[in-house]
Amino acid sequence: MLKDSIWKMKVLVAESSGFCHGVENAISIADKVLTKEQDVYCLGPIIHNKDMVERLANKGLKTISSVDKIKNGTVLIRSHGAAPDQIKKIRAKGLKIVDATCILVKRVQKIAQQLEKQGYQVVIIGDKSHPEVQAVVGCVKNAVVIGDNSDLPKLPKNKRLGVVCQTTQSPEHAGRIIAEIVGYGFSEMKVVNTLCREAIKRQKSAVELCRRVDIMFVLGGHDSANTRELAQLCKKYNNSTFHLQNWNEFDIKTVFGKKVAGVTAGASTPRWIIDKFVENLKAVDTKK
């Protein structure tokens, strides 16, 4: 396929990209459980990456959205966690639980509970449809989720607010929402920093890289919150930013005439996806 005189791109990979400790831990737990147990279920995709979900499905992991129809076996709690009432339901059915919740996500749940006990109205800055946020909401009696400015009217006026963030949000976004809350009105606001430092490191490293390249690729699941946050950030600093799940989504037309490409990946993107993408990209002929 390759011609003798092809134009090859320089491909730079972000210093910090790919699996974070939480994801690595969840995958390693899943791999171990699958070698030991039969009938292993995961409550929702273990991580937001179809390639990895597929790999584990081939090893026997069954992804389910509810335990209602499960009679026996082991239920894996994915990295995003689960709400206490879900856990209770699993226990009530006598199913075995293996908890692969990321420790940082677990921390957000605990902090939200503490803030509520201290009399604060719990506020979660995050995406209300994301399982991590839903699990935190499920841990307290009454939480308000603020995704963007349009959610502000849900806040009670001039109250004591206890604020946590979905771990994968950027400090930039969290700061913007907190500033909006200040303008909206509050009496006291206790913000506990629940942002994941690994995610911030990836964001900084991606922003740095995408400023130096002609085109930027952000690899990861389209439903992965941290990958989407990465892609949104990169788009701000480099308009030629593409969020792709893997090499299959690559469109050669996007790189015609480009000389330097940057590659980064979300915390739930397996190394093999990144390596394959970089290898293929290096071999591409960018001549129109």
Nearer residue to a second copy within complex by CB, 41 or 237:
237
Burial degree of 98 (CB within 10 A; 0-12, 13-18, 19+): middle
Cα distances from 27 to residues 31, 77, 168, 276, in angstroms, run: 6, 11, 18, 20
Q: Which helix (H) or strand (E) holds 244?
A: strand 241-244
Please state the closest distance from residue 264 (CB atom) to a second copy, in A: 20
**Residue 3: HSE in the Cβ half-sphere, 13 Å Cα cutoff:** 7
263-195-276 Cα angle (round to 5): 20
DSSP class of residue 149 equals G
Tokens describing residue 164: 């946590």
Of 229, 131, 170, 251, give the one whose Cα is nearest residue 218.
Answer: 229
Nearer residue to a second copy within complex by CB, 13 or 146:
146
Please state the closest distance from residue 280 (CB atom) to a second copy, in A: 36
Please state the closest distance from residue 85 (CB atom) to a second copy, in A: 28
Nearer residue to a second copy within complex by CB, 35 or 150:
150
Please state the closest distance from residue 237 (CB atom) to a second copy, in A: 15
Residue 188 annotated in active site: no
Question: What is the rounded distance in angstroms from the CA atom of residue 34 to the CA atom of residue 120?
Answer: 42
Are 264 and 13 spatial neighbours (Cβ–Cβ below 8 Å)? yes
Binding site residues, a second copy, CB under 8 A: 158, 171-172, 174-176, 178-183, 185-193
Nearer residue to a second copy within complex by CB, 186 or 242:
186
Please state the closest distance from residue 115 (CB atom) to a second copy, in A: 11
Residues sharing a CB contact under 8 Å with residue 129, sequence separation 6 or more, in sequence order: none
Of 259, 269, 288, 191, give the one whose Cα is nearest residue 230.
Answer: 269
Nearer residue to a second copy within complex by CB, 8 or 107:
107
Q: Where are the alpha helices (DSSP H) in 16-151?
A: 21-36, 50-58, 84-92, 103-117, 131-139
Please state the closest distance from residue 181 (CB atom) to a second copy, in A: 8
Nearer residue to a second copy within complex by CB, 72 or 158:
158
Which residue in 24, 37, 54, 132 is the catalytic one? Answer: 132
**Residues assigned a catalytic role:** 132
